Copies of this chain bind each other. A is one copy, B any other.
Amino acid sequence: MNVLVWNENRHEKKNPIVSDIYPKGIHGAIAAFLSEDTVNVKTSTLDEPEHGLTDEVLIGTDVLIWWGHMAHHEVLDEIVEKVHKRVLEGMGLIVLHSGHFSKIFKKLMGTTCDLKWREADEKERLWVVDPSHPITEGIGEYIELEKEEMYGEHFDIPSPDQLIFLSWFEGGEVFRSGATYQRGKGKVFYFRPGHETYPTYYNEEIQQVIKNAVQWVNNSDTPTPVYGNTNPIETISKKEKG
């Protein structure tokens, strides 16, 4: 399985707090823990040519992980089209945190994906609401993060196919923080945590969820359905018999 971790990689360049936490970038941190398990992990970032998402790269990717925030608008529409096409063809997609506002996630959801937010060093507790789902394997009742950005309802998404996690925040809000969707042949998992100013992606339970999700969204071997103009089965059958 080939996993590609895509990161905007801008906060890391502009904010020393972020680069101190993630010296190799958020993509580097995610790729590092995924490499413990998965044979092939690569990374791409916004400022590479074609954002590092060339046709060749996309065709060779089974699972794409997406982190973006301040530069969603800089992602070229034609690249978004290509990523979208690949998801519908079966490439798994994991959208993290502020990726809720990425072009690719909004294109797959069809909604604004808007929400409430607050940066106030609040405790988050992600409760498992689907304890027998493969994505929660090895996770206990909840994951606790000492400090995170708050995301609160209402979260403007289509009703998830499966609701996996619900977050509780110290400041008083709740959030649907783990949700799955099927789009075409592609499996999509949105996972809330991971604000750039906190070391969330070093948390071993968060890492476990992402590892589990990589396995779960991987679906690239399934056959392509037949579409378009078609002959009448019944008539053919009758002729063959006749």
Flag if B172 contacts A226 (CB, 8 Å). Answer: no
A156 neighbours in B (Cβ, 8 Å): 88, 184, 225, 227
Task: Tell me the number of copies of this protein.
Answer: 4
Closest to A85 in B: B112
Q: How long is the Cα–Cα vector from A217 to B74 in the complex, in angstroms?
A: 36
Flag if A153 contacts B172 (CB, 8 Å). Answer: no
Residue from B168, B176, B237 within 8 A of A173 (CB atoms): B168
Q: Is A78 an interface residue (CB 8 A)?
A: no
Q: How long is the Cα–Cα vector from A146 to B28 in the complex, in angstroms?
A: 45
Q: Is A40 an interface residue (CB 8 A)?
A: no
Interface string of A174-199 (1 = CB under 8 A from B): 10100001111101000000000000
Q: How far is the CB of A190 from chain B (nearest CB, A)?
A: 13
Q: Is A69 an interface residue (CB 8 A)?
A: no
A227 neighbours in B (Cβ, 8 Å): 112, 114-116, 154, 156
